Amino acid sequence: MGTGKRGLLAAALTVVCAVTVLAAPGAAFAAPAPPPGASSAPGPSPAPVPDKDLEQVRQKLDTLYHDAAVATDAYNAAEEKAKKQSAEIAALTKKITAGQRRLAKLKDQAGAAAREQYRGGGLPPTAQFLLSDDPGQVLDGAGLVLQGQQAANHLIGELSDAQQQLQDYAQDAAAQWKKLDADRKAKAGAKKKILQQIDAAKKLEASLEEKQKERLAQLEQQAALKAQTAWLDTGILEKIHGKASAAGEKAVAFATAQIGKPYVWGAEGPDSFDCSGLTSQAWAAAGRPIPRTSQEQWKQLKHIPVKDMRPGDLVIYFDDASHVALYIGDGAIIQAPRPGRTVTVAGAGSMPILGVVRPDA
Protein backbone atom coordinates (compact mmCIF):
# COMPACT_ATOMS: atom_id res chain seq x y z
CA MET A 1 0.00 0.00 0.00
CA GLY A 2 1.36 3.41 -0.97
CA THR A 3 2.13 6.18 1.48
CA GLY A 4 -0.98 8.09 0.36
CA LYS A 5 -3.21 5.08 0.95
CA ARG A 6 -1.71 4.41 4.37
CA GLY A 7 -2.26 8.07 5.29
CA LEU A 8 -5.87 7.95 4.14
CA LEU A 9 -6.52 4.75 6.08
CA ALA A 10 -4.92 6.21 9.20
CA ALA A 11 -7.10 9.30 8.88
CA ALA A 12 -10.20 7.15 8.56
CA LEU A 13 -9.31 5.15 11.66
CA THR A 14 -8.74 8.40 13.55
CA VAL A 15 -12.19 9.48 12.45
CA VAL A 16 -13.68 6.28 13.84
CA CYS A 17 -12.01 6.79 17.21
CA ALA A 18 -13.31 10.35 17.47
CA VAL A 19 -16.86 9.63 16.41
CA THR A 20 -17.94 8.31 19.79
CA VAL A 21 -17.23 11.73 21.28
CA LEU A 22 -19.26 13.75 18.77
CA ALA A 23 -22.02 11.25 18.06
CA ALA A 24 -22.80 9.98 21.53
CA PRO A 25 -26.56 9.97 22.11
CA GLY A 26 -27.47 13.55 22.94
CA ALA A 27 -28.80 14.25 26.38
CA ALA A 28 -32.06 16.11 26.78
CA PHE A 29 -30.87 19.57 27.70
CA ALA A 30 -33.20 21.16 30.20
CA ALA A 31 -34.57 24.58 29.48
CA PRO A 32 -32.84 27.45 31.28
CA ALA A 33 -33.96 28.03 34.85
CA PRO A 34 -36.30 30.97 35.29
CA PRO A 35 -34.72 34.21 36.44
CA PRO A 36 -34.48 34.57 40.24
CA GLY A 37 -37.25 36.43 41.99
CA ALA A 38 -36.96 39.94 43.30
CA SER A 39 -36.49 38.65 46.85
CA SER A 40 -33.20 36.92 45.97
CA ALA A 41 -31.70 39.54 43.67
CA PRO A 42 -31.58 43.29 44.25
CA GLY A 43 -32.58 45.74 41.58
CA PRO A 44 -35.76 47.11 40.07
CA SER A 45 -38.54 44.73 39.03
CA PRO A 46 -39.41 44.48 35.33
CA ALA A 47 -41.88 47.05 34.13
CA PRO A 48 -45.37 45.62 34.57
CA VAL A 49 -47.31 44.68 31.47
CA PRO A 50 -50.62 46.55 31.16
CA ASP A 51 -53.63 44.21 31.40
CA LYS A 52 -54.84 45.39 28.01
CA ASP A 53 -51.66 43.99 26.44
CA LEU A 54 -52.01 40.46 27.86
CA GLU A 55 -53.54 39.09 24.65
CA GLN A 56 -50.52 40.37 22.73
CA VAL A 57 -48.30 38.71 25.33
CA ARG A 58 -50.15 35.42 24.78
CA GLN A 59 -49.66 35.67 21.03
CA LYS A 60 -45.98 36.54 21.48
CA LEU A 61 -45.48 33.54 23.76
CA ASP A 62 -47.19 31.31 21.21
CA THR A 63 -44.78 32.57 18.55
CA LEU A 64 -41.71 32.10 20.75
CA TYR A 65 -42.64 28.56 21.76
CA HIS A 66 -43.60 27.68 18.20
CA ASP A 67 -40.19 28.83 16.98
CA ALA A 68 -38.58 26.80 19.75
CA ALA A 69 -40.57 23.76 18.58
CA VAL A 70 -39.30 24.22 15.01
CA ALA A 71 -35.73 24.44 16.29
CA THR A 72 -36.32 21.38 18.47
CA ASP A 73 -37.34 19.39 15.40
CA ALA A 74 -34.15 20.51 13.66
CA TYR A 75 -32.14 19.47 16.71
CA ASN A 76 -33.80 16.04 16.87
CA ALA A 77 -33.33 15.50 13.12
CA ALA A 78 -29.62 16.34 13.35
CA GLU A 79 -29.23 13.95 16.27
CA GLU A 80 -30.93 11.15 14.36
CA LYS A 81 -28.59 11.73 11.41
CA ALA A 82 -25.59 11.68 13.73
CA LYS A 83 -26.69 8.33 15.18
CA LYS A 84 -27.11 6.88 11.69
CA GLN A 85 -23.74 8.18 10.51
CA SER A 86 -22.08 6.85 13.66
CA ALA A 87 -23.46 3.39 12.89
CA GLU A 88 -22.28 3.64 9.27
CA ILE A 89 -18.77 4.61 10.37
CA ALA A 90 -18.72 1.74 12.87
CA ALA A 91 -19.63 -0.65 10.03
CA LEU A 92 -16.85 0.82 7.89
CA THR A 93 -14.43 0.31 10.76
CA LYS A 94 -15.22 -3.41 10.78
CA LYS A 95 -14.69 -3.56 7.03
CA ILE A 96 -11.36 -1.73 7.34
CA THR A 97 -10.20 -4.09 10.08
CA ALA A 98 -11.21 -7.16 8.07
CA GLY A 99 -9.54 -5.68 4.98
CA GLN A 100 -6.32 -5.11 6.88
CA ARG A 101 -6.27 -8.74 8.01
CA ARG A 102 -6.91 -9.94 4.45
CA LEU A 103 -4.20 -7.68 3.06
CA ALA A 104 -1.67 -8.89 5.63
CA LYS A 105 -2.48 -12.52 4.77
CA LEU A 106 -2.09 -11.87 1.05
CA LYS A 107 1.24 -10.14 1.65
CA ASP A 108 2.45 -13.15 3.61
CA GLN A 109 1.46 -15.40 0.71
CA ALA A 110 3.21 -13.13 -1.78
CA GLY A 111 6.36 -13.15 0.35
CA ALA A 112 6.32 -16.92 0.52
CA ALA A 113 5.96 -17.15 -3.27
CA ALA A 114 8.87 -14.75 -3.75
CA ARG A 115 11.07 -16.75 -1.41
CA GLU A 116 10.18 -19.96 -3.23
CA GLN A 117 11.12 -18.40 -6.57
CA TYR A 118 14.43 -17.20 -5.11
CA ARG A 119 15.26 -20.71 -3.86
CA GLY A 120 14.51 -22.06 -7.37
CA GLY A 121 17.12 -19.78 -8.82
CA GLY A 122 14.64 -17.59 -10.61
CA LEU A 123 15.51 -19.29 -13.99
CA PRO A 124 12.89 -19.44 -16.70
CA PRO A 125 11.63 -22.93 -17.71
CA THR A 126 13.59 -22.90 -21.04
CA ALA A 127 16.93 -22.31 -19.29
CA GLN A 128 16.17 -24.99 -16.71
CA PHE A 129 15.41 -27.43 -19.57
CA LEU A 130 18.70 -26.72 -21.39
CA LEU A 131 20.88 -26.87 -18.27
CA SER A 132 19.24 -29.85 -16.60
CA ASP A 133 20.76 -33.34 -16.63
CA ASP A 134 17.19 -34.68 -16.71
CA PRO A 135 15.16 -32.66 -19.27
CA GLY A 136 12.17 -34.98 -18.78
CA GLN A 137 11.89 -33.97 -15.15
CA VAL A 138 12.00 -30.33 -16.21
CA LEU A 139 9.18 -30.91 -18.70
CA ASP A 140 7.12 -32.55 -15.97
CA GLY A 141 7.70 -29.51 -13.79
CA ALA A 142 6.82 -27.02 -16.51
CA GLY A 143 3.14 -27.49 -15.82
CA LEU A 144 3.73 -26.79 -12.15
CA VAL A 145 5.65 -23.66 -13.09
CA LEU A 146 2.74 -22.47 -15.23
CA GLN A 147 0.34 -23.12 -12.37
CA GLY A 148 2.66 -21.20 -10.09
CA GLN A 149 2.70 -18.23 -12.47
CA GLN A 150 -1.09 -18.25 -12.66
CA ALA A 151 -1.34 -18.42 -8.89
CA ALA A 152 1.09 -15.51 -8.59
CA ASN A 153 -0.94 -13.43 -11.04
CA HIS A 154 -4.09 -14.24 -9.09
CA LEU A 155 -2.37 -13.29 -5.85
CA ILE A 156 -1.23 -9.96 -7.31
CA GLY A 157 -4.79 -9.30 -8.44
CA GLU A 158 -6.14 -10.05 -4.97
CA LEU A 159 -3.57 -7.75 -3.39
CA SER A 160 -4.57 -4.93 -5.73
CA ASP A 161 -8.28 -5.49 -5.01
CA ALA A 162 -7.70 -5.54 -1.26
CA GLN A 163 -5.73 -2.30 -1.40
CA GLN A 164 -8.46 -0.62 -3.49
CA GLN A 165 -11.18 -1.78 -1.07
CA LEU A 166 -9.26 -0.36 1.86
CA GLN A 167 -8.88 2.95 0.05
CA ASP A 168 -12.62 3.02 -0.75
CA TYR A 169 -13.54 2.22 2.86
CA ALA A 170 -11.22 4.95 4.10
CA GLN A 171 -12.70 7.49 1.71
CA ASP A 172 -16.24 6.50 2.75
CA ALA A 173 -15.31 6.88 6.41
CA ALA A 174 -13.83 10.31 5.76
CA ALA A 175 -17.00 11.39 3.89
CA GLN A 176 -19.21 10.14 6.73
CA TRP A 177 -17.06 12.04 9.18
CA LYS A 178 -17.62 15.28 7.27
CA LYS A 179 -21.39 14.70 7.32
CA LEU A 180 -21.28 13.90 11.01
CA ASP A 181 -19.34 17.06 11.78
CA ALA A 182 -21.77 19.15 9.73
CA ASP A 183 -24.76 17.68 11.57
CA ARG A 184 -23.02 18.24 14.91
CA LYS A 185 -22.74 21.93 14.02
CA ALA A 186 -26.38 21.99 12.90
CA LYS A 187 -27.39 20.43 16.20
CA ALA A 188 -25.39 23.01 18.14
CA GLY A 189 -27.02 25.82 16.15
CA ALA A 190 -30.50 24.40 16.80
CA LYS A 191 -29.72 24.09 20.50
CA LYS A 192 -28.64 27.71 20.65
CA LYS A 193 -31.83 28.87 18.95
CA ILE A 194 -34.00 26.77 21.25
CA LEU A 195 -32.38 28.22 24.34
CA GLN A 196 -32.76 31.75 22.99
CA GLN A 197 -36.46 31.28 22.23
CA ILE A 198 -37.25 29.63 25.55
CA ASP A 199 -35.21 32.19 27.49
CA ALA A 200 -37.07 35.06 25.77
CA ALA A 201 -40.42 33.44 26.59
CA LYS A 202 -39.49 32.90 30.23
CA LYS A 203 -38.29 36.48 30.60
CA LEU A 204 -41.56 37.70 29.13
CA GLU A 205 -43.57 35.56 31.54
CA ALA A 206 -41.39 36.65 34.46
CA SER A 207 -42.31 40.27 33.76
CA LEU A 208 -45.93 39.54 34.66
CA GLU A 209 -47.48 39.91 38.08
CA GLU A 210 -49.11 36.85 39.63
CA LYS A 211 -52.64 37.97 38.80
CA GLN A 212 -51.56 38.63 35.24
CA LYS A 213 -50.05 35.15 34.97
CA GLU A 214 -53.37 33.72 36.11
CA ARG A 215 -55.19 35.86 33.58
CA LEU A 216 -52.73 34.80 30.86
CA ALA A 217 -53.41 31.14 31.65
CA GLN A 218 -57.14 31.84 31.29
CA LEU A 219 -56.56 33.50 27.92
CA GLU A 220 -54.59 30.47 26.75
CA GLN A 221 -57.40 28.14 27.81
CA GLN A 222 -60.01 30.35 26.17
CA ALA A 223 -58.08 30.41 22.89
CA ALA A 224 -57.73 26.62 22.91
CA LEU A 225 -61.40 26.16 23.80
CA LYS A 226 -62.49 28.54 21.05
CA ALA A 227 -60.47 26.64 18.45
CA GLN A 228 -61.74 23.27 19.72
CA THR A 229 -65.34 24.46 19.71
CA ALA A 230 -65.02 25.75 16.16
CA TRP A 231 -63.58 22.39 15.11
CA LEU A 232 -66.37 20.45 16.79
CA ASP A 233 -69.01 22.76 15.31
CA THR A 234 -68.07 21.46 11.87
CA GLY A 235 -69.72 18.17 12.90
CA ILE A 236 -66.46 16.30 12.48
CA LEU A 237 -67.06 13.97 15.43
CA GLU A 238 -70.21 12.63 13.76
CA LYS A 239 -67.97 11.38 10.95
CA ILE A 240 -65.17 9.92 13.09
CA HIS A 241 -66.03 6.36 14.09
CA GLY A 242 -62.70 4.58 13.69
CA LYS A 243 -61.70 2.03 16.32
CA ALA A 244 -58.14 1.65 17.50
CA SER A 245 -56.04 -1.20 16.20
CA ALA A 246 -54.35 -3.49 18.71
CA ALA A 247 -51.10 -1.56 18.21
CA GLY A 248 -52.98 1.75 18.46
CA GLU A 249 -54.44 0.72 21.82
CA LYS A 250 -50.93 0.00 23.11
CA ALA A 251 -49.71 3.40 21.88
CA VAL A 252 -52.61 5.17 23.60
CA ALA A 253 -52.00 3.22 26.81
CA PHE A 254 -48.34 4.25 26.80
CA ALA A 255 -49.13 7.91 26.20
CA THR A 256 -51.81 7.90 28.89
CA ALA A 257 -49.29 6.58 31.40
CA GLN A 258 -47.03 9.58 30.72
CA ILE A 259 -49.62 12.22 31.66
CA GLY A 260 -48.15 14.68 34.15
CA LYS A 261 -44.53 14.23 33.09
CA PRO A 262 -42.73 17.45 32.12
CA TYR A 263 -41.99 18.68 28.62
CA VAL A 264 -38.24 18.90 27.97
CA TRP A 265 -37.02 19.62 24.46
CA GLY A 266 -35.04 16.79 22.90
CA ALA A 267 -36.37 14.31 25.48
CA GLU A 268 -37.90 10.95 24.64
CA GLY A 269 -38.49 9.51 28.10
CA PRO A 270 -38.72 7.91 30.42
CA ASP A 271 -39.08 10.89 32.77
CA SER A 272 -39.76 13.72 30.30
CA PHE A 273 -40.74 14.19 26.66
CA ASP A 274 -40.99 16.66 23.83
CA CYS A 275 -43.95 16.34 21.46
CA SER A 276 -42.46 13.90 18.95
CA GLY A 277 -40.48 12.14 21.66
CA LEU A 278 -43.83 11.18 23.22
CA THR A 279 -45.43 9.98 19.98
CA SER A 280 -42.37 8.08 18.74
CA GLN A 281 -41.95 6.32 22.08
CA ALA A 282 -45.66 5.51 22.28
CA TRP A 283 -45.47 3.70 18.96
CA ALA A 284 -42.15 2.09 19.81
CA ALA A 285 -43.89 0.66 22.88
CA ALA A 286 -46.59 -0.64 20.52
CA GLY A 287 -43.93 -2.46 18.52
CA ARG A 288 -43.98 -0.09 15.54
CA PRO A 289 -40.90 2.17 15.41
CA ILE A 290 -41.59 5.47 13.61
CA PRO A 291 -39.46 8.53 12.70
CA ARG A 292 -38.27 10.64 15.63
CA THR A 293 -39.42 14.09 14.53
CA SER A 294 -42.89 15.46 13.78
CA GLN A 295 -41.78 16.64 10.34
CA GLU A 296 -40.46 13.20 9.39
CA GLN A 297 -43.56 11.57 10.82
CA TRP A 298 -45.58 13.80 8.50
CA LYS A 299 -43.35 13.01 5.53
CA GLN A 300 -42.94 9.27 5.96
CA LEU A 301 -46.17 7.95 7.51
CA LYS A 302 -49.39 7.33 5.59
CA HIS A 303 -51.75 10.31 5.47
CA ILE A 304 -55.31 9.69 6.65
CA PRO A 305 -58.35 11.97 6.20
CA VAL A 306 -59.33 13.57 9.49
CA LYS A 307 -62.79 11.99 9.28
CA ASP A 308 -61.16 8.54 9.10
CA MET A 309 -58.78 8.90 12.02
CA ARG A 310 -58.86 6.46 14.90
CA PRO A 311 -57.26 6.31 18.37
CA GLY A 312 -53.51 5.91 18.03
CA ASP A 313 -53.23 8.02 14.89
CA LEU A 314 -50.98 11.07 15.02
CA VAL A 315 -52.36 14.57 14.50
CA ILE A 316 -49.82 16.92 12.92
CA TYR A 317 -50.17 20.64 13.61
CA PHE A 318 -49.20 23.93 11.92
CA ASP A 319 -48.14 24.42 8.32
CA ASP A 320 -44.54 23.47 9.09
CA ALA A 321 -45.49 20.21 10.91
CA SER A 322 -43.77 21.51 14.03
CA HIS A 323 -46.07 19.83 16.56
CA VAL A 324 -47.61 16.38 16.89
CA ALA A 325 -49.99 14.67 19.29
CA LEU A 326 -51.62 11.26 19.71
CA TYR A 327 -55.35 11.02 19.03
CA ILE A 328 -57.18 9.10 21.78
CA GLY A 329 -60.78 9.37 20.59
CA ASP A 330 -63.80 11.57 21.34
CA GLY A 331 -62.10 14.59 19.81
CA ALA A 332 -59.18 14.50 22.28
CA ILE A 333 -55.41 14.13 22.07
CA ILE A 334 -52.54 13.47 24.44
CA GLN A 335 -49.62 15.82 23.86
CA ALA A 336 -46.41 17.19 25.32
CA PRO A 337 -47.24 20.86 24.67
CA ARG A 338 -44.23 23.10 25.40
CA PRO A 339 -41.61 24.06 28.02
CA GLY A 340 -43.17 24.77 31.38
CA ARG A 341 -46.04 22.37 30.70
CA THR A 342 -46.61 18.67 31.27
CA VAL A 343 -47.95 15.84 29.15
CA THR A 344 -51.69 16.39 29.12
CA VAL A 345 -55.03 15.77 27.42
CA ALA A 346 -56.28 18.50 25.08
CA GLY A 347 -58.79 19.03 22.31
CA ALA A 348 -57.69 17.71 18.93
CA GLY A 349 -58.89 20.92 17.29
CA SER A 350 -57.27 23.30 19.77
CA MET A 351 -54.47 24.05 17.29
CA PRO A 352 -54.41 24.39 13.49
CA ILE A 353 -54.42 20.82 12.10
CA LEU A 354 -52.14 20.13 9.15
CA GLY A 355 -53.23 16.51 8.80
CA VAL A 356 -53.34 13.04 10.30
CA VAL A 357 -50.92 10.13 9.81
CA ARG A 358 -51.23 6.45 10.69
CA PRO A 359 -48.15 4.57 11.93
CA ASP A 360 -49.68 1.11 11.44
CA ALA A 361 -51.42 1.69 8.13
Which superfamily is assigned to 210-358 in CATH? endopeptidase domain like (from Nostoc punctiforme) (3.90.1720.10)
Q: What is the pLDDT of residue 121?
A: 54
- Whether the predicted pLDDT of 281 surpasses 90: yes
Q: How many residues appear in the chain?
A: 361
pLDDT band at 82 (very low <50, low <70, confident <90, very high): confident
Average pLDDT (255-274) is 95
pTM over 0.85: no
CB–CB of 274/261 below 8 Å? no
Q: What is the pLDDT of residue 78?
A: 75
- Whether the predicted pLDDT of 161 surpasses 50: yes
Cα(93)–Cα(62) distance, integer angstroms? 46
Q: What is the pLDDT of residue 265?
A: 85
**Cis status of the peptide bond prior to 270, with omega within 30 of 0:** yes
Cα(10)–Cα(240) distance, integer angstroms? 60
Average pLDDT (41-69) is 68
Backbone angles phi, psi at 324, to 5 degrees: -145, 150
> What is the CB-side half-sphere exposure of residue 81 using CA atoms within 13 A?
19
Average pLDDT (131-149) is 51
Question: CA end-to-end span of the chain, whole Å?
Answer: 52
Q: What is the pLDDT of residue 316?
A: 97
More confident residue, 148 or 27: 148
CA separation, residue 341 to residues 32, 65, 75, 259, 272 (Å): 14, 11, 20, 11, 11
Most confident among 14-18, 44-48, 204-208, 264-268 (mean pLDDT): 264-268
Q: What is the pLDDT of residue 135?
A: 53
Cα(315)–Cα(140) distance, integer angstroms? 82
Average pLDDT (146-168) is 64
Mind listing the pLDDT tens digit for each residue in 309-328? 999 999 999 999 999 999 99
Q: What is the pLDDT of residue 310?
A: 96
Any idea which of 31-40, 91-100, 112-121, 273-282 has the lowest mean pLDDT? 31-40
Any idea which of 173-177, 312-316, 339-343 has the lowest mean pLDDT? 173-177
Percent of the chain with pLDDT over 70: 66
- Whether the predicted pLDDT of 279 surpasses 90: yes
| Residues paired with 358 in a beta bridge | 302
So where are the chain's domains? 3-24+53-206, 210-358
